[in-house]
Every structure is written in C-alpha cells, then in structure tokens.
Structure 1
Amino acid sequence: MTAPTDLNARILDDIADALIYADRSGSIVRWNRAATALFGYSAQEALGHNLDLIIPEHLRAAHWKGFDAAIASGAMKLQGRPTLTRAQHKSGRKLYIEMTFALVKDFQGEVLGSAAIARDVTERVERERGKK
C-alpha cells in the first residue's frame, strides 16, 4: 500500500494542469510536471525561485500587491474562481493562462502560502481575438 504522502505527491505530479505552490514570501516550493511543460522550467530550475520567474515584468507590481494583501489578510478576491492572465515561458514567449488560486492555511488558520492551478489557453484566446 502506498503511503498517503507518496500518493498525494504522485497525484499532484500527474494531474494535467500546472500546479505551483509558493510560500508566504513568494518562493516556489512545489512545481509539478505540468508546470514544467507549461512554463519550460524544470522543477530544479523553479524550486526556490521567486514567482517572477513566470510573471511578465509589466504585471509584477500588480501581482505582488495582490499576493501580499492576500497573505496579510488571509483572503483573496479570486479564491477558487478561474481568471485569465498572462504568464511568461522560459523562452520569453508570452502565454495566456487560466489560473485558479487558493490560500493554504495551517490548522490554526495562519496562511502558509498560495497554490495556483494553471492551464494554457493561448491558442483559444488568440483564435477568439482573431489572431490565428
């Protein structure tokens, strides 16, 4: 029988959507195989790095304002609701991604970090906007 933590890790690694977990400071702690496929960075390249790795420069100030407010307040406007945003691939190519965010809290309700599930929707968005 597989231990629950081993099973949890296998599930997170094998889901089709990118999973990124960052601690309170915004350092990447969890990066699954789908995140590697989506953003181009291996787990070894991403782990321990700041989320700026995948955030286009022009969106960073707004991202960190929202991130810091969510960490401090323990609540986020987008909790559980998908949102369309831009991200950056390792190659520098800009992506349209649909992301869902959640704060991760300990048993006392203290915020430990933030998890995001991401899916590439670049092709769909460009088709809808008449770019393809």
Structure 2
Amino acid sequence: MEDAEETPLGPVADELLSLVADGVIATDERGSIILFNKSAEETFGYKAGEVLGKSIDILLPARFHSSHQVHIQKFSSSISRLSRSMGGGRDVIGLKKSGEEFPIEAGLTRHDLAGRIILTVVLRDISERKQIEEARRLVTHEISHRLKNLMTVVNSVVSLTARASESVETCENLLLERLGAIGRTVDLMLLDDWSGADLGDLLKAELAPYRDYRGENYRLSGPEVKIPPQWALSLTLALHELATNASKYGALSRPSGVVQIEWRISQQPKGSMLQLDWVESGGPLVNPPDRRGFGSDLIERCMGRSKTRLSYNPSGFAAHFQVML
C-alpha cells in the first residue's frame, strides 16, 4: 500500500479518471498497481482497495505471468518506445476476480514522473466484439460452404439438362425452370438463416403453378419438418421434376387427377428418417417406359438410388423417398 500513497496523481486527476469509459491501471516499474480507476473496477470485478499495492499479475491468467514480466521489464528499461499496444498481434487475456478469462484490447505507456517509472495501461473489454467476429466468421464459412454445394448442384443440373435436350431452346427452357426451382428453395432457406427449409413450403412452392381453381388437385399430409440444407436443394429438384412430369403426362394433366403427398418421421438407430410418398391417381393410364428417361435419372441422382423407389402403376405413377435428417 506504500506505493499507492506515493502516487503523484492528486484527487482531481483521480476523479477525472473515474469518468473515463476505458479501464486505466498504472503500476510502478516493479509491476505493483498504484492506480485502478472505476472502469477497471467494473471490468475486473475488484475494488481499487483490493488490488492497490499488489502485482499486476493478479489480473492475468497464471500461464501468462512469466512472459508478461519479461515484456514489462523490457518496456520499462527501453529508451526508445514510450508507448505500444499490448499483445504484439496476439490476443491479450484478462482475468476477472470471479476467475473468468476475457479478451481485452490494451495500450501501454511509460512515463517518468518525479524520478519514478510509471507504466499505464488503458484497456477495454472486447468480449462482445470477439463474439460478433466469431459469429461473422462462422456465417462466412457457412455461406462459402453452402455456395460451393449450390454450384455443384447447378453444374450437375446444367450438365444433365444439356445432355438430355434435343435443341438449344429446349435446353434453355428446362434450365430456366430448374434453376428457378433452386432459386425458390434458396429464398426459403435465406428466410431462416440458411438453416434449412420447411417441407410443406417446398411442396407448395413447386405445386403452386399447377393448382386448380378449387385447390383440390394435390393434397399434402404430414407433420411439420425442416429439411436440412444438404437435402433441401436435392429434394426440391426431385419434387420439381415430379410436378413437371405430372403436369405433362400424369395426374396434373387431367381435371380429374390428384397427387397425394404424404410424409412421416421415424426414429432410426442413426437418427430421424423422413419417408415421403408421392402418389398420383385419376390421370392417364400409366405404361412403364421402354427406357430410362432423363427425369428418372435426375430424381435418382438428386436423392440417391438406394433412397428412391419409382413405381409405374397403371392407376398412377408413384415415388417414394427416404432421407436421413
């Protein structure tokens, strides 16, 4: 406490420092604390009387004590630099009275007052800023990952469409339709911070162009379920292909036709499984195709052949999917 009594700072200066928003801590050349302003009290959880005369090390995690002492001694004896940022490009970590560690931003200055070397640290708790930076980093990483996946899907769609199209015009029209489906799904996922898309919303978006005036040519039945991003685009493309084919050749091409879409969730050893059934009825008589078409290839490519079953029943086409959520 003797050092605290020798501080050259008077009561007026102490009162002014209590108004400073940043923490201000001063030590002598040995590292003993001789000033601890109000903001420093709020930041570290100590009252000034608890730390005055004690080593500055009380405010640092033990693993930094040795290196901090070396830095302080070098800075105290230096004849060139009077100020510098603490950390040297590294995060500076403080230690609260509660034992909690937290990141700080600090600047260190050296003064010669009345023949004594005084070191002053002006510091700020940057925990909130670090949390924001980490959240931004995670979002950036996630967006990059999602965009790469999106481009992979787009490249696959472009390649498959070009191979199956008989003319440039046909290729263009199909691409616009399929890329439009992808775009609608991306919009749905962006509404929920790219965390996925509601299955009911995906189905309604794909079937909306084919809805009759009574709204009875398709029926949806199942619990609310969010499709994760890694499946949303693939499922959308498969549903888009099913809806397009149904409007051209299946149940949605006839006023009497109906598409019944039902889904359910079952618990499996590896997690939750979505089982979705697309069943058409009331449309033209269905004949099994002579050869595999582009639509079947695209659907199985999107969903995986082991997770897809396509049935060409005379009464109506049906598709069954299984997806691990």
Whether 2:129 is the aligned partner of 1:124: answer yes
Whether 2:17 is the aligned partner of 1:16: answer no
**Aligned to 1:114, what secondary structure does the other structure show?**
strand
Alignment of 1:44-123 (within 5 A): 44-76=49-81, 79-81=83-85, 84-106=91-113, 112-123=117-128
Count of residue correspondences: 126
Contact 2:86 2:92 in 1 (8 A): no
User: So what's the TM-score if we normalise by structure 1?
Assistant: 0.84
Aligned-residue Cα RMSD (Å) equals 2.4
Question: Amino acid of the residue matched to residue 8 of structure 1?
Answer: A
Contact 1:74 1:103 in 2 (8 A): no
**Higher RCO by CA contacts (8 Å cutoff, separation 6 or greater):** 1
**1: distance between equivalents of 2:31 and 2:86?**
20
Q: Give deviations 1:20-77, integer Å, cap 9, x for gaps.
A: 0000110000001101000011001010110111111111111111001111224448
**2: distance between equivalents of 1:95 and 1:64?**
20
Question: In the superposition, relative to structure 1, how do residues 82 and 53 fare at CA in structure 2: closer, same or farther (>3 Å)?
Answer: closer
Give unmatched runs, 5+ long, in structure 2: 1-8, 139-325
Contact 1:24 1:113 in 2 (8 A): yes
**Whose helix fraction is larger, Structure 1's or Structure 2's?**
2
Question: Amino acid of the residue matched to residue 52 of structure 1?
Answer: D
Shift of 1:81: 3.9
Contact 1:75 1:103 in 2 (8 A): no
Question: In the superposition, relative to structure 1, how do residues 66 and 44 fare at CA in structure 2: closer, same or farther (>3 Å)?
Answer: same
**Aligned to 2:76, what secondary structure does the other structure show?**
helix
Question: In the superposition, relative to structure 1, how do residues 74 and 90 fare at CA in structure 2: closer, same or farther (>3 Å)?
Answer: farther
Shift of 1:5: 3.7
Q: Give deviations 1:6-26, integer Å, cap 9, x for gaps.
A: 332211122111110000110
**Aligned to 1:45, what secondary structure does the other structure show?**
helix
Runs of 4+ in structure 1 over 3 Å off: 74-77, 80-84
Q: Between Structure 1 and Structure 2, whose CA radius of gyration is higher? A: 2
User: So what's the TM-score if we normalise by structure 2?
Assistant: 0.36
Question: In the superposition, relative to structure 1, how do residues 15 and 27 fare at CA in structure 2: closer, same or farther (>3 Å)?
Answer: same
**2: distance between equivalents of 1:53 and 1:75?**
28
Question: Amino acid of the residue matched to residue 88 of structure 1?
Answer: L
Identity, in percent, stands at 25
Question: In the superposition, relative to structure 1, how do residues 69 and 55 fare at CA in structure 2: closer, same or farther (>3 Å)?
Answer: same
**1: distance between equivalents of 2:93 and 2:80?**
22
Whether 2:55 is the aligned partner of 1:28: answer no
Question: Amino acid of the residue matched to residue 41 of structure 2?
Answer: T
Contact 2:34 2:52 in 1 (8 A): yes
Question: In the superposition, relative to structure 1, how do residues 93 and 26 fare at CA in structure 2: closer, same or farther (>3 Å)?
Answer: same
Question: In the superposition, relative to structure 1, how do residues 32 and 68 fare at CA in structure 2: closer, same or farther (>3 Å)?
Answer: same
**2: distance between equivalents of 1:24 and 1:82?**
16
